[in-house]
Amino acid sequence: MLEGWWREHGFPPVPMQLLPPLGVIFDDKAAGWVYMDNGGTGFAMMEWLVTDPKAGIKAVRGLEHVVTFLLGELKEMGYGFVFTSCRQEMLAKFLTKRGFVKTDGGMTHLVATLQ
């Protein structure tokens, strides 16, 4: 299901082994995950937000639940900062309405497999 969503949004599917333990799929409409620093900085990274492209407004509502849940879990665990990145302007607007502040733009994100 998730692989299909990423493909339909024009992204390569995220390998399941890259997804961190803290994540949520809401009502088969939206999903997201959080990487948590364990070095005591109180910093986390929310990534791999994705929605069912066929769900319309239900996807937006689902994403609201996903983000609210993840931020709530982080706050309960004492995290004070959350970083995320996106390339979709609509997602950036969605997140800024929920307290995120744009810090930069025009970035290319890269990943390396160490095996």
What one-letter code names the amino acid at 21?
A: P
Instruction: Look at residue 107 and tell me if it is in a domain.
Output: no
Position 27 scores a pLDDT of 96
What letter would DSSP give residue 87? S
Position 6 scores a pLDDT of 96
Domain that holds residue 83: 2-96
Buried (b) or exposed (e) across 52-86, using 16+ Cβ within 10 A? beebeebbebbbeebbebbbeebeeeebeebebeb
Position 75 scores a pLDDT of 94
Q: How far apart are CA 98 and CA 74, in angstroms?
A: 15
Instruction: Look at residue 112 and tell me if it is in a domain.
Output: no
Strand partners, 82: 44
pLDDT in tens, 27-60: 999 999 999 998 888 999 999 999 999 999 999 9
Q: List the alpha helices (DSSP H) in 77-110.
A: 89-96
Q: How far apart are CA 9 and CA 85, in angstroms?
A: 16
pTM: 0.89
Instruction: Look at residue 108 and tell me if it is in a domain.
Output: no
CB atoms within 10 A of CB 26: 20
Q: How far apart are CA 115 and CA 97, in angstroms?
A: 40
- Our count of domains for the chain comes to 1
- CATH code at 59? 3.40.630.30
Instruction: Look at residue 12 and tell me if it is in a domain.
Output: yes
pLDDT in tens, 54-102: 999 999 999 999 999 999 999 999 999 999 998 888 899 999 999 999 9
Instruction: Look at residue 106 and tell me if it is in a domain.
Output: no
